Amino acid sequence: MASASGHAQGGERVPAWLATWTASPQPVWGPDFLFPTNVPAVLAGQTVRQVARVSLGGRRLRLVLSNAYGKQPVVVGRGSVALAGTHGSLVPGSLRAVTYGGKSSAVIAPGAPLLSDPIDLPLPALARVTVSLYLPQATPAATFHWDGRATAWIAAGDQTGAARLDPAAQATTARLLLSGIEVEQDVERDGKPASARALPQRSMPGPPTTRPGAASPMTAGVGAAADLGMNGIDVQGFRTAGVVAAIGDSITDGAAATLDADTRWPDFLAEALAPRGMAVINAGISGARLLSDGMGVNALARLDRDVLSQPGVSAVVTLLGINDISWPGTAFEPDRAARPSLQALIAGYEQLIARAHARGVRVIGATLPPFEGALPGTPLADYYQPEKDALRQALNAWIRGSRAFDAVADVDAALRDPAHPARLAPRFDSGDHLHPGDAGNRKMAEVILPAVLDRGTLHGDQADFFSAAALSVASHENSGSERPKWP
């Protein structure tokens, strides 16, 4: 326990809140945009129920709600958290009330987050939790996360205590208000993790190794959501090694991952790292760019909020740039001259790396996967052009060879078709030739894992840390969603 002064003695444990799940906030766009928001323009007297799978568990958790892009205060009424059942139901006996400063309601200021009180609900690692939030007043939908790859429901009235929602509830895959979940972990004064607990998982990688003199995420000190309003979840639990953030675009956001199956590449990575006491948070936004705003603000503008300020973050995996390269000249951005130069992309990455290093955060660079023939039969059919691919390959060459990153994960080499290197291999392709399917996401996690564990740069054919028997996924899988996967 901590001493009365608040300082831990050597070898003693002190509590620390860590991010275990996030959904990066985006501004809600208008009706003239290519994609519908799939959320009501205004919510009033309605309950929003959302399901999230945490990476690490713990004794307690707390929620992070977001009004990041709102122009007026948001009144949040009663809320609840429970272990998730099926189809939006709750596990009996697990329902807990959400409070803010001891009160059942709160106001989220414009542009601000809101942190709940700690909630006494023991969570195992990889647990699915259901968060229900009641909005008693008319609330314009201004902040959301467009593609949560999980079904959420909007129901009439206060149904925060309902074991099952009214069947008339509107379903959406957006996330509202909820942007984060945090858990409280016990850590030693020096940040060293306790022994990993046995956890259910789809895969179990081998033991980590660290090159001499390198700062390993296994010994990094702790502290060094359309998810509609829900940005994050914090959990209080056991000693941990830190948090790995993934910042990227729709490939990281999981645009083609099977709905409600937790098969985005950060989900697979979370399963591999949870037994090591490491959390994984997803800061991907579909349509995101490194340098320019898109379906969310640019990565450099949101880096602090979505990654560096997240409690416990010790490493970040970057997979950014394909939308910077390919949006110009499409319906998203008709001006071809808006395409950045290689030098501009490198400068953006160098700034991202410098800011992360200034906070003691390791940076793993992932190469951009191939995308020849991307998005056929859509308004973005010209997303791929040979000159765009040449820029992608030049950026990948810099990522591989610059030594700017602490480690490199060669996703391009892992996913490309050996017979047609500019294309995704058929077994990894979701079918739109841009986004990996579930098998491709699993392969990405395999290649990223050793880089996170500080084994240096590995190519796709050099690592197979996931048991083939543990997960069976078919290529060209149906995403389970009617939402277009264009960006």
- Residue 157 tokens read as 């009235």
pTM score, whole prediction: 0.85
Answer whether 450's CB lies under 8 Å from 465's CB: yes
Return the domain boundaries, the chain.
Answer: 23-32+42-179, 241-470
Cα dihedral sign for 384, 390, 393, 399?
negative
Say how far apart CA 483 and CA 146 lie, in whole Å.
10
3-state secondary structure 414-434: HHEECCEEEEECHHHECCCCC
Of residues 57 and 455, more confidence is placed in 57
* Residue recorded with tokens 């901590």: 2
Q: Kindly provide the residue ranges of all beta strands, DSSP E only, lying in 109-255, ordered along the sequence.
A: 113-115, 128-135, 139-140, 143-144, 152-156, 170-172, 175-188, 227-237, 242-248
Per-residue model confidence (pLDDT) at position 379:
87
Say how far apart CA 273 and CA 284 lie, in whole Å.
19
Answer whether 132's CB lies under 8 Å from 116's CB: no
Please check the confidence at residue 72 and state whether its pLDDT lies above 70. yes
- What digits encode the pLDDT tens for the residues 3-58? 333 344 556 778 889 999 999 999 999 888 888 999 999 999 999 999 999 999 99
- What digits encode the pLDDT tens for the residues 210-231? 322 333 322 222 222 245 566 6
Mean pLDDT for all residues in the chain: 85
Which of 145-159, 216-230, 240-254 shows the lowest per-residue confidence on average (mean pLDDT)? Answer: 216-230
Per-residue model confidence (pLDDT) at position 189:
59
Please check the confidence at residue 85 and state whether its pLDDT lies above 60. yes
Per-residue model confidence (pLDDT) at position 243:
97
Task: Kindly indicate the confidence band of residue 237, based on its pLDDT and cuts at 50, 70 and 90.
Answer: very low
Please check the confidence at residue 244 and state whether its pLDDT lies above 60. yes
Averaged over 409-436, what is the pLDDT? 98
Say how far apart CA 360 and CA 307 lie, in whole Å.
12
- What digits encode the pLDDT tens for the residues 265-324? 999 999 999 999 999 999 999 999 999 998 999 999 999 999 999 999 999 999 999 999
Question: What's the CATH code, domain 241-470?
Answer: 3.40.50.1110
Say how far apart CA 230 and CA 141 lie, in whole Å.
13
Per-residue model confidence (pLDDT) at position 188:
67
Which of 128-137, 302-311, 323-332 shows the lowest per-residue confidence on average (mean pLDDT)? Answer: 323-332
Task: Kindly indicate the confidence band of residue 241, based on its pLDDT and cuts at 50, 70 and 90.
Answer: low
Task: Kindly indicate the confidence band of residue 455, based on its pLDDT and cuts at 50, 70 and 90.
Answer: low
* Residue recorded with tokens 């003695």: 9
Of residues 72 and 8, more confidence is placed in 72
Per-residue model confidence (pLDDT) at position 190:
54
Which of 43-57, 129-143, 329-343, 439-453 shows the lowest per-residue confidence on average (mean pLDDT)? Answer: 329-343
Say how far apart CA 318 and CA 363 lie, in whole Å.
7
Task: Kindly indicate the confidence band of residue 236, based on its pLDDT and cuts at 50, 70 and 90.
Answer: low
Per-residue model confidence (pLDDT) at position 228:
57
Averaged over 424-451, what is the pLDDT? 98
Quote helix, strand, coil % in the chain, to nearest 5: 20, 30, 50
Cα dihedral sign for 118, 162, 281, 297?
negative
Percent of the chain scoring above 90 in pLDDT: 73
Q: Nearest 5°: phi and psi at 178?
A: -75, 115
Per-residue model confidence (pLDDT) at position 205:
35
Of residues 352 and 235, more confidence is placed in 352
Averaged over 116-140, what is the pLDDT? 97
3-state secondary structure 337-348: HHCCCHHHHHHH
Please check the confidence at residue 68 and state whether its pLDDT lies above 90. yes
Which of 38-52, 96-110, 200-214 shows the lowest per-residue confidence on average (mean pLDDT)? Answer: 200-214
Answer whether 129's CB lies under 8 Å from 152's CB: no
Answer whether 230's CB lies under 8 Å from 65's CB: yes
Most confident among 29-38, 57-66, 460-469 (mean pLDDT): 57-66
